[in-house]
Amino acid sequence: MSLRRVVFAAMTPQRAIQKESLALDGDASGGGKVMQPGDPAHACRLPKPRWRGVFTILMSPFGGDGSLSLGGLRAQVDFARACGVQGVVFPGVASESYTLSDAERQRGVEAVVEQASGQLPVLAGVTASSGPHAAALARHAAQTGADGAMVMAPALLRLEDADLRAYFDSVAGASGLPLILQSFTPPIGAPLSVAQITRLVCEVPNIRYVKQEVPPTPHNVSALLDLLGQAIEGIFGGAGGLHALEELRRGACGTMPGVHLAPAAEAMWDAFIRGDDQLASEVHRTILPAVNRSLLLGPRFAKSVLVRRGVLTSAATRVPSPHPNTHDDEELERILKDLQSYWPASE
């Protein structure tokens, strides 16, 4: 059975009618049309998404006793707002969410929503090991005032399609929030195929966005957009921003980098939506060493940047990661120098 036949067999009749004419004029190979600056739709191939741009992932700041610092979370919200980003996310993979207790996750979401004060959309990460567990986190997020919920399939369970639908249905039913379906790599994530994601979008109406982080991410963004058309509001790129600009060119409606990259990521987005592809490329090239460093050292690098800029007071992590040596400190200095011009003037 071809990908298209699998996809359309999974649709409800109402949504199949909506999308059939849109999906058939592309193919699922991920080739897709590459948007060019100057194209009126180049910033997002989908009509009027409620969320677009830079939605930055907040780090989980830990105090000297190892506890979650709510003050550190609030400081990051203020910093993200000063950078001009379009939204914040907590907790995500980069937030070391898998090391947080439910109480910490809930207190953290409460602090972020309160500090955002309705000025920034807040997306709450609610991924859990079972449907009831994720549903409870999503219900709390909705009651707290979060604007949406981001959720991955359980990483430890390889669910069949019916079980995947039940898992996402439970999250949607418990919260009523718009959902961002996140597809992430093992061992932390459960990667979903383009066909699986498409079926879930068609079957679970609350899934309005996808955060695609399974390589090759640009090609998967294209494939999803070709298949889903207007049945979804947008596709966000992730993976630390490694391929952010190409994802945007292919029609992604935004990107979700760590908050330590918020100033430069926002500068790249601003240049992109203004049609200045040369400047957007220059900014993205400036970001890449920091992205690579984050992949090498994990959240400790992101927190080290934030400490150096006065946003956080500690770079402590719960995830084991290499402790910086002299060479790491030198690389950090180089990266900070390159990113300096994008940092908010008030910092």
pLDDT in tens, the chain (347 residues): 334 333 433 343 334 423 333 333 333 334 444 434 334 333 344 455 689 999 999 999 999 889 999 999 999 999 999 999 999 999 998 899 889 999 999 999 999 999 999 999 999 999 998 999 999 999 999 999 999 999 998 876 677 778 889 999 999 999 999 999 998 877 777 888 899 999 999 999 999 999 998 888 899 999 999 998 888 899 999 888 889 999 999 999 999 999 999 999 999 999 999 999 999 999 999 999 999 898 888 899 999 999 999 999 999 999 888 787 888 888 889 999 988 888 886 55
Decide if 111 is inside a domain: yes
- Backbone phi, psi, residue 96, to 5°: 60, 40
Given this model, what pLDDT does residue 231 score? 86
Decide if 303 is inside a domain: no
Given this model, what pLDDT does residue 99 score? 92
Decide if 335 is inside a domain: no
Q: Which of 45, 46, 58 is nearest to 85 (CA)?
A: 58
Token pair listed for 111: 């602090």
Given this model, what pLDDT does residue 21 score? 30
- What's the number of domains the chain is made of? 1
Token pair listed for 120: 């920034």
Residue-by-residue DSSP string for 185-234: -TTTS----HHHHHHHHHH-TTEEEEEE-SSSHHHHHHHHHHHHGGGSSE
Decide if 234 is inside a domain: yes
What is the domain-level CATH number for residue 195? 3.20.20.70
Given this model, what pLDDT does residue 47 score? 52
Decide if 336 is inside a domain: no
Cβ contact 110:119 at 8 Å: no
Decide if 212 is inside a domain: yes
Task: Tell me how far apart the alpha carbons of residues 269 and 310 are, in angstroms, rounded to a whole number.
Answer: 24
Cβ contact 79:262 at 8 Å: yes
User: Domain limits at 234?
Assistant: 50-260
- Backbone phi, psi, residue 79, to 5°: -65, -45
